Structure 1
C-alpha cells in the first residue's frame, strides 16, 4: 500500500520539481515534546514535501502564467498549495507557513525532513566542543544533493493508511566533520543572508540567478519580478 501511494505522490509531484519522502507519524512524535505532536496514530503514513531548485521553472512559472489573476498572496505558497491540494486521495495537508492559535508552527519542518530521511537536521547537539557559550544557535537541514538549495513546503498525511512495517531510512550525514558542522552553524546563524551555508557541501544543483533574486526580494516586490503589476495584483482583490 505504501509503495503504491508513494508512486502516485512522487509521480504527481516529481515532474514539478518536488520531492516526497515517506515517514510514520510515530517517528516524528517520538523525538518531540507533546505540544508539537501530530494528532494521528503512530503508524499513520505521512510524506514530507520538499521543493528542489527546478521547482521554480517547472511549477512556479507555469502556475503564475496560468493563474496570475487568482494570485492574492505569496505566489510560491499558492503554487505549492495548488499542486498539493490536487492529490485525489483522502489526505490532510499541513503547509510550512501554517501556525496554531498559540503562534507555534503546526509542524516542525526540519524535524520532519530528518525523520523521513530527506535531509539531515544539523543542530548544536551535533557539535561536541561547543564554541558558542550562551548564544542561541538554530539548526539547519542540509540535503545530500542540494545542500541548502531547497525548501521544506509541507506534509501530506493519510489518516486512513497505517504502515506498521514501514522501515525508517536515516538521512545522509553529509556534513560529517566537527569543523564543517561548526562552519555550517556559524554561517547559518550569523551570515545567513549571504547564503554561503547552502554550499557547505558540493551540490549537484542550486538556485538559478533569477531564482536567487526572487527569493532575496521582499515579498511585496516579488510580483513585479514575475511580471505581475501592482494594478493586476490589486484587481485580484476585488
Structure 2
C-alpha cells in the first residue's frame, strides 16, 4: 500500500514528468468507475478504489518518441513499430518511477486468449474524463435504423488526433476519500445531433480519409510525415522508413501495426446520463 497522503497526485506527477516530454498524456481514474459502466465479463479484477491511469499519445509522440526510437533500432529486429515504441516508453517510465512497485500494464493491442481486449480503451478514456466517447445512443432518433455504428472518442483539445495506448493499474495504491472524490465528466465538444451524425458517419463509413479527426477545431494534429506513415499500408511501412533513413537496407521485417484501420474493439455502449 502506498504511504503518501496524496498517492494519486504522486503517481500522476511522476508519470507526467517521464511521459509528457515524449508526447503522451496521463489521466487517473478509479477501477470502480470503469467497472461500474461495464458488464461483469469486462471488469478489471481489482478492488474498486484501486488507482488506474489511462495513457494517450498526442500528435507530438511521433517526433518526440517514435522517430528517436527508430534511430536507436535502425538495424531492425522490430515489428509493430508504434506498439513497441509505446511499450518501451511506458515500461521505462514505470521502471524508473516505480521500481519494485506492483504495476499492471495493459496495452491497447493486447488480447486475452479468448480474443477479448484486456481493457476497453475508449470506455476507459471516457471514464477518466480524457475524451468524450460518442456512440449511436448519443444521437436522438438515429437515422441508421438497425445498422450498427461504432463509437469514437473525441478529445476537447486534440479532436481525433490522438490514440489510446495503455491502462496502468497501481495494485498497491488505494484512492483516498479526499482524492478523485468526484468523477470528472469528459468535455462534450460535439454537441449537436447533426455534428454527432456527421462524426459517426465519417468514422464508420469513410474512416480512411481521417476527416472524423477534424470534427472540431484541434489545437494540434499529426504532422505531414506522421500522416504519410499512418496512411501507408502496414506492409509498405518498412520500405517507407528505409526511404526516410530510419531503417537499414538489410531490414526485412514487415510492419503489422494497424492504426490506419478504424478502432472498433475498444469501447462498449455507455450511459452518459
Check whether TM > 0.5. yes
TM-score, length-scaled by structure 1: 0.95
User: Residues of 2 paired with 1:224 and 1:164: CA distance?
Assistant: 51
Give yes or no for the alignment of 1:33 onto 2:39.
yes
- TM-aligned CA deviation for residue 217 of structure 1: 1.3
| 1:20-169 matched pairs, under 5 angstroms | 20-69=26-75, 71-86=77-92, 87-88=94-95, 89=98, 90=101, 91-165=103-177, 166=180, 167-169=182-184
Aligned 8 A contact 1:72 1:233 in 2: no
| Structure 2 unpaired stretches of 5+ | 1-6, 254-273
Q: Which range moves more in the overlay, 25-34 or 83-92? A: 83-92
Number of aligned positions between the proteins = 234
Q: Is the 8 Å Cα contact of residues 74 and 248 (structure 2) preserved in structure 1?
A: no
Deviates more, 1:66-75 or 1:23-32: 66-75
Question: Does residue 1:232 correspond to 2:251, yes or no?
Answer: yes
Greater CA drift, 177-186 or 82-91: 82-91
Q: Comparing both structures, which one devotes a greater share of its residues to helix?
A: 1
Change (3 A) 1:131 1:4: same
CA distance in 2, matches of 1:132, 1:159: 43
> Of residues 9, 14, 17 in structure 2, which corresponds to 1:8?
14
Cα distance in 1 for residues equivalent to 2:77 and 2:215: 35
Distance 2:68 2:17 in 1: 18
How far residue 70 of structure 1 moved from its aligned partner, in angstroms, is 5.5
Supply the RMSD in Å over aligned alpha carbons.
1.3
Please state whether the residue corresponding to 1:226 is helix, strand or coil: helix
Structure 1 runs not aligned, ≥5 long:
none
Residue 218 of structure 1: CA displacement?
A: 1.9
Measure how far apart 1:188 and its partner are: 0.6
